Structure 1
């Protein structure tokens, strides 16, 4: 049976999208969710695999810019909506779509492709490496307290309807989006994703609530959350389900977390996606009662090794030659010399002995500074060909703050 890959036509969108939903379990979306994704989706970057009049595979991409170490915002294809019908598995459909998509990304001149994986084992064979992780927590606020830094009491908090302060909160996000590698620059329309509030996403809690932190009349932070009431024989046991926290300074950050810890009729704060070095961890009295969990989030693919490595800076001087293997995008295979520091970098092909040998997947995993090359070397995934090269490159590739993806796409 032969399938045909086609760029998505508007007339085929309903069939294409229905195939996508069916592959993810067939649960219908709310009209608000469907309308938002219809608005954000770039049809000319979507591909369908067709078996006659059946859409049996889907993939798409958003035209993003992602923050990299040093603060530059680099063009990146945000790979999304990837599916293959259960009736058509193991026929090479996914591989053919990934091949077509990465060829298109290269033609557009985007040095990076990024995605979040429903199953991370799928994408390594296409050169994607896990580059960021997220921290989740379930905090027992009946037994955990916070140490509050100076200035916290000078921050004023107030409730606000999420829509009423959406513009100010989005402006604050724009200010902070350059502070961490892995953060996406949100273009107009994407601010609506943070406000999307279907009942299926509330975890049994209230409609989305918002509290803003102000100083001298300006919003310096905000949090969005749900309240999930619960009672037992001893009394209230509700939970605060945190969706977003963003703040410009330590005092605003602490004021928001103090509020979340102290909501009446609750004894738990649940948070699903925070940076690994999120500051609240260093304010709590007992980290053991915070139920910490870590999982992968953003997977990165270097579509153009040279351009990608030149786009970021390095926290220590580096001069290293990589022997890169890239079976899926063979234009990247070969030896590349990277020289750089905190001011900039250059990277080009060379005919020189290599210092380190690795696949493009490992290079992608280390790219945002969250996965140390030294750890990959200790696992046997990076080979040191010049003594000291691992330590030099690992230090240079690091980031002083953990890379983080605040939301999916």
Structure 2
């Protein structure tokens, strides 16, 4: 995803020539920072809307992605993120745009803002996949800030997601202060860790029932797709990876791919890493960056970490995608060999259809709660057979916004914590404690996919 009002998204590939976008019928037009109520859906019905005398900021139109030149979208992306796509990455960027839907703000033929999305599935607690809009490529040109453009585009994207039957919208943000106002809350976290390879030995012996091996190119993709699916259907917060995602991963990187096979020869995990060669005056001090590590079994996880910590000529091993509850540090003979450099927000979630989102997951403890979400009340009944949520007129137990619900929904944040932070209001004493028991997940939610 990318930040609105600026730039943002974990995915980045740096050139694009620019071609002006033609204005199409059916576009939405409004004056500069015009509010939602001031726009019209049809050009035919739009007023000429000339800017006031002396105002040269132009007239904006909202166009679907299919009505603008992809090169114009890429050019806006370059401006927002401060780089240029090169000959290798530009075709990948064009393919990336072709794989999404989106909305653009156009000023006199120039794309000045964009929001994109791809359909995906995200796993809720209980191994419950649910359809979601994977929001990405969000940006607003520096020349068009503070005009409400991002709000217009995000509103269009959310409405389109609901029409497509996607009760959730999710994204990866490059800045943490933007998306709360659009109804998003932090749903997963990731640790940035650095290991001293020489000191990071595992404490207990391990006999691998399978084997690890290096793979390349198409063989890597074939081996890893199925393993990732096994992992993500059981991991709350994990999102599906579409075929273009895998193709981009191979096209944009030249790392090492290692897969692990169980005793029957079935791939149950893989890791992707790159090695930056470095010598410190005769002493090997290379740095290994672990870009991806996915395992469906504990044996695969331990075997692959043993490969990474056994690499020769390496001083440090680091990753930015370690789950907060990963057991690695407890397996080390010296826990100080692992340093947590930072804990960052991972995936953000916005419940678009609250009733569907609440009813889509399973709950470890049964119970009944009435939640008031931005003025609308929903009765949640959870039991062993599943859960059901429906609108109600009953008095609320808890009052919260969509962002807070997006955090609670995946089981990684206790409602009592958000009550203490004044992000949730407890109307009935003890209701937050009941919600703690109900919303707790079987494991910490984690998303290790940048989209």
TM-score normalised per structure 1: 0.91
Q: What is aligned with 2:29?
A: none
- How far, CA to CA, are the matches of 1:163 and 1:242 in structure 2? 20
- How far, CA to CA, are the matches of 1:226 and 1:163 in structure 2? 18
Q: What is aligned with 2:38?
A: none
Contact 1:336-1:347 within 8 A present in 2 as well: yes
Q: Secondary structure at the match of 1:213?
A: strand
The C-alpha deviation readout for 1:56-98, integer Å capped at 9, x for no partner, is 1111110111111111211111111111111111111111111
Q: What is aligned with 1:173?
A: 228
Q: 1:263 to 1:43 in 2, by over 3 A?
A: closer
Q: 1:395 to 1:84 in 2, by over 3 A?
A: same
- How far, CA to CA, are the matches of 2:211 and 2:108 in structure 1? 61
The C-alpha deviation readout for 1:272-326, integer Å capped at 9, x for no partner, is 112111232221123333121210011100101111101111111120001221x
RMSD: 1.9
| 95, 115, 126: which one aligns with 2:171 | 115
- How far, CA to CA, are the matches of 1:175 and 1:341 in structure 2? 26
CA shift, 1:31, in A, is 4.1
Q: What is aligned with 1:139?
A: 195
Q: What is aligned with 2:354?
A: 305
Contact 1:341-1:396 within 8 A present in 2 as well: no
Q: 1:144 to 1:41 in 2, by over 3 A?
A: same
Matches within 5 A, 1:321-360: 321-325=370-374, 333-360=375-402
Contact 1:70-1:313 within 8 A present in 2 as well: yes
- How far, CA to CA, are the matches of 1:79 and 1:155 in structure 2? 38
- How far, CA to CA, are the matches of 1:160 and 1:389 in structure 2? 52
Q: What is aligned with 2:319?
A: 271
1:22 aligns with 2:62: no
The C-alpha deviation readout for 1:351-377, integer Å capped at 9, x for no partner, is 111111111211111111112212111
| 80, 103, 112: which one aligns with 1:47 | 103
Q: 1:62 to 1:31 in 2, by over 3 A?
A: farther
| 33, 58, 62: which one aligns with 2:118 | 62
The C-alpha deviation readout for 1:222-281, integer Å capped at 9, x for no partner, is 221111111113511112211112223222211111111111111211111121112322
| 131, 142, 150: which one aligns with 1:75 | 131
Q: What is aligned with 1:190?
A: 245
- How far, CA to CA, are the matches of 2:118 and 2:277 in structure 1? 37
CA shift, 1:43, in A, is 7.0
Mean Cα deviation higher: 39-48 or 269-278: 39-48
CA shift, 1:132, in A, is 0.6
- How far, CA to CA, are the matches of 2:437 and 2:237 in structure 1? 19
Q: Secondary structure at the match of 2:59?
A: coil
Which runs of 5 or more structure 2 residues have no equivalent in the other structure? 1-57
Q: What is aligned with 1:213?
A: 260
The C-alpha deviation readout for 1:143-200, integer Å capped at 9, x for no partner, is 2211246533x332222224323201111111111111111122333222332434xx
Q: What is aligned with 1:203?
A: none
Q: What is aligned with 2:162?
A: 106
Q: 1:159 to 1:181 in 2, by over 3 A?
A: same
Which runs of 5 or more structure 1 residues have no equivalent in the other structure? 199-206, 326-332
CA shift, 1:22, in A, is 0.8
Q: What is aligned with 2:8?
A: none
Largest Rg, 1 or 2: 2
Q: 1:219 to 1:43 in 2, by over 3 A?
A: closer
Matches within 5 A, 1:251-262: 251-262=299-310
- How far, CA to CA, are the matches of 2:440 and 2:86 in structure 1? 41
- How far, CA to CA, are the matches of 1:148 and 1:213 in structure 2? 20
1:379 aligns with 2:421: yes
Contact 2:100-2:117 within 8 A present in 1 as well: no
Mean Cα deviation higher: 220-229 or 282-291: 282-291
Aligned residues: 392
Contact 1:314-1:397 within 8 A present in 2 as well: yes
Q: 1:324 to 1:260 in 2, by over 3 A?
A: same
Q: Secondary structure at the match of 1:252?
A: helix
1:223 aligns with 2:280: no
Q: What is aligned with 2:48?
A: none
Q: What is aligned with 2:365?
A: 316
Q: 1:148 to 1:37 in 2, by over 3 A?
A: farther
Q: Secondary structure at the match of 2:106?
A: strand
| 260, 265, 283: which one aligns with 2:331 | 283
Contact 1:149-1:254 within 8 A present in 2 as well: no
Contact 2:99-2:244 within 8 A present in 1 as well: no
1:96 aligns with 2:145: no
